[in-house]
Structure 1
Amino acid sequence: MSEHVVWTQWDDLKVPSNFKRLSPATTPAATGDMSEVTFYVPTYMGGRPALELTKKMPNLKVLQVPNAGYEDALEFLRPGITLCNGRGIHDDSTAELAVALAIASLRGFVTFIRDQDQGEWVNKTYNSINDRKVGIIGYGSIGSTIARMLSGFSVEIVAFTQSGRDNTIAISDLDKHLPTLDVIFLILPLTKESKHLFDARRLALMKDGALLVNVARGPIVDTDALLKELNSGRITAALDVTDPEPLPKDHPLWSAKGVLISPHVGGNSSAFDKRARSLFESQLNLLAEGKPLNNIIVAGN
């Protein structure tokens, strides 16, 4: 009998010899018998339906989500289930998008595309990311990667963490720094404390002309308050995440002034596959060797 039964989206994932591998080719997630699965990786970008499948897995021991964010998986935990996240998989891809969104917003790429659609040549001055003071709120693996990618620019970086560890600034001291920041990147987990961290009061503290880049979770920003600030023309925003999400077709955020929106694609790039396989194969090898798993968020009993 197999020591562990592993289900992932990859038909050819390397698993230890005494583990049994299941995949969509052998066991379709929606229709197959998932009762013997002990190690489950929900299909990437599968959303809630992929997590709901854990209810068909009475023997599940490890829920290994492929995302850095894990708040949506918490309700599917049962006693004995260990939850691990995908920390490290999306660092480069999400940081890359964050920097790209900032530059695209500052340098007027949205206007360029619209002018191109109309065949119009309009030359004007836009903002540079250089010579700016940049705040990175949430300085974990993705936040520090954003800082590394920005190191080639002439910027001053100010990092914020919950605790103020490693020479960062505690988020509790954020308010006094907000009026000095030209660009703000949000890349922190969604928790009770971080929900609506950027509410009407905090958005009002932002410097006139500042740019808010959210590649974390939509509810960290109060959407209604953000709409008011955007439409006043006082600040701009670049958002890979929104609240609600997906953003309904008729939502006023689509037509707000000074906003660039991408459809939550921070980690969804060609960089995902190689990094995801490497992490999950490493986790399975640790499991086979009886060693502690990496990226444990909740340890099973």
Structure 2
Amino acid sequence: MSEVDGMSVLVWTAPGTATWLEGLDERLEIAEIPADPLHDPRLAEVKILVPPLMRNLEDEAYDLRTLMSKAPSLEFVQTQTAGVDGIVSSVPDGVALCSVRGAYDELMAELLLAGILVSYKEVAHYVHAQDAGSWQPTEVRVIQGAKVLYVGYGSIAQCVERYLAPFGVESLKVARTARDGIEGLDALPRLLPQADIVVVLTPLTPDTRGLVGEQFLASMKPGALLVNGARGGCVDTEALMAAARERGIRAFLDVTEPEPLPDGHPLWSTPGIFITPHIGSLVADNNERCFRVVRENLTRWLDGRPVLNRVEHGY
């Protein structure tokens, strides 16, 4: 990425988001992605793309994969998400891909902390009891002194760790690459039986799809809590339901597989499972948080400086 001189740089951004890039830099021409981008005469001029939020590329009215491949001047794709599993394999070779990793750390950490408290304090039980107008005391658990295993130790995990620190928990850490104080994935068979709470925050890649499967769940303590703030595909849903029924494994899930979870799916009624519908970043100032990172990265790209959150090796 070299410093841009002369002509303005055409940026196509997701419908409804152009206002968040207004006034950023006079070197940029901001336009929302047109309704029929594959036949738009300016497709050949697009250098920067900020694609819409989507679960699957095929869900949109146009094929984003084709759009990127047909944009000969495209140099930089900036997502609005921290995870890039839905787009990374479709970005053409030589085109930079960046995420907004870090934009949602506090939002996710708050939600995951809430999920842990909901499970440990049996909130679901008491909601049902109140709905029934019935006084039903039941034993709750104490977080203080628990061992928390982070599977994937990035910026969100670090934020969750800070939020849990006042409870006096012990942290165990695992990541794709071992480093000081953080073990590799090969340590899971040894660490899982020790953990009271297992927080999954890995990106979804071919290596992590189904990571939380039958063997992983069988290694967890009976009654331990699984917290998934990553992607639904990281967890084998059938294996989780079996582990919940047979070994009392509990779970807080903000993501599921499949997603959206269909009405009547047995995961909804599996004992010990509490589900929120992918609401980690569903807050009023979501766009402000997201586009703070997007604006910073576009400026860096224009100036020829290193961009934030460059995705490499599928991450």
Q: TM-score, normalised by structure 1?
A: 0.90
| Structure 2 unpaired stretches of 5+ | 1-6
For 1:183-221, what per-residue CA distance to the aligned partner results, in whole angstroms no more than 9, with x for missing partners? 110001112222222211221111111000011111222
CA contact 1:106–1:128 (8 Å) conserved in 2 = yes
What secondary structure, in the 3-state scheme, does the structure 2 residue paired with 1:71 have? Answer: coil
Structure 1 residues 253-264: aligned runs within 5 Å: 253-264=267-278
Give the superposition deviation at 1:227.
0.9
SS of match in other structure, 1:296: coil
Alignment of 1:41-52 (within 5 A): 41-45=50-54, 47-48=56-57, 49=59, 52=63
* Corresponding letter in the other structure for 1:4: L
TM-superposition CA deviations, 1:138-158 (whole Å, max 9, x none): 111111111011112121111
Equivalent residue, structure 1, for 2:172: 158
Q: Which amino acid aligns with 2:139?
A: T
CA contact (8 A) 1:136 1:158 kept: yes
2:303 is aligned with 1:289: yes
- Residues 213-236 of structure 1: per-residue CA shift (max 9 Å, x gap): 011111222111111111225211
One-letter amino acid matched to 1:44 = L
2:134 partner SS: coil
Tell me which residue corresponds to 2:124.
110
In the TM superposition, what are the counterparts of 1:1-301 in structure 2 within 5 Å? 1-8=7-14, 9-12=16-19, 13-14=21-22, 15-23=24-32, 27-28=34-35, 33=40, 35=43, 36-45=45-54, 47-48=56-57, 49=59, 52-53=63-64, 55-57=66-68, 58=71, 59-232=73-246, 234-298=248-312
Rounded Cα–Cα distance in structure 2 between residues aligned with 1:103 and 1:158: 19
Unaligned runs of 5+ in 1: none
Whole-angstrom CA distance in 2 between matches of 1:229 and 1:166 = 32
Cα gap change, 1:104/1:75 in structure 2, threshold over 3 Å: closer, same or farther?
same
Question: Cα deviations across residues 33-77 of structure 1 (Å, max 9, x unaligned)?
Answer: 461432122223565345833533513321111111111102321
State the number of aligned residues. 297
**How far, CA to CA, are the matches of 1:68 and 1:260 in structure 2?**
23
Moved more, 127-136 or 204-213: 127-136
Tell me the SS of whatever aligns to 1:87: coil
Amino acid corresponding to residue 130 of structure 1 in structure 2: Q
**Aligned residue identity for 1:52:** D
